[in-house]
Homo-oligomer: A and B are copies of this chain.
Amino acid sequence: MSNRYFDDLKVGERFKSDPLEVTEKQIVEFAHDFDPQSFHLEPARAEQTIFKGLIASGWHTAAITMRLFMQTVNFTEGAIGLGVDELRWPNPVRPGDTLRVETEIVDLRRSRSKPDYGIIRLRNVTTNQRSEIVQTMFANAMVPCRAGFTG
């Protein structure tokens, strides 16, 4: 479905993203711009840390999750992020890992302040190629309804 509005979603619905490989170059570039710590930036020094090798910044994993989520659910007029709860990184992301995101629609309600929008509460779980969980989160997003939808 490439043309999705608030009114197309159902509570309990699940979406699975395509896979995306994360390269060492991407991990280092993101870290350079936003999280310049040796275990994200310098492969040789990262070997000496408790991670025993380079790992992605958690904020990089979060940004990749956003990309995979948006590609998959594909709202016609976008989704406005309102907030995120319980963002956790139980396992690190390493160079060459392939990530996927599974999205579950947890709750749906109409916006009180903006009647042409609905508020979605969703859970995103990001896994690697070994099905290990690398990130979990709940998010609230505001999404347009189709013209004339009365809910």
Interfacial residues, chain A to chain B (CB-CB below 8 A): 30, 33-39, 49-50, 57-60, 62-64, 66-67, 70, 78-89, 114
Known A-B contacts A83-B88, A88-B83; A70 and B33 likewise in contact (beta carbons under 8 Å): no
Which of B49, B66, B86, B89 makes the CB contact (< 8 A) with A34?
Answer: B66
User: Which 8 pairs across A and B sit closest by C-beta, in order of nearness?
Assistant: A34-B63, A37-B78, A84-B87, A83-B88, A58-B81, A59-B63, A34-B67, A35-B66
Q: How far is the CA of A86 from the CA of B86 in the complex (A)?
A: 7
Q: How far is the CA of A87 from the CA of B82 in the complex (A)?
A: 9
Say whether B83 contacts A36, CB under 8 Å. no
Query: Closest CB of chain B to A92's CB: distance in Å?
Result: 9
Query: Closest CB of chain B to A56's CB: distance in Å?
Result: 11
Say whether B88 contacts A87, CB under 8 Å. no
Query: Closest CB of chain B to A116's CB: distance in Å?
Result: 10
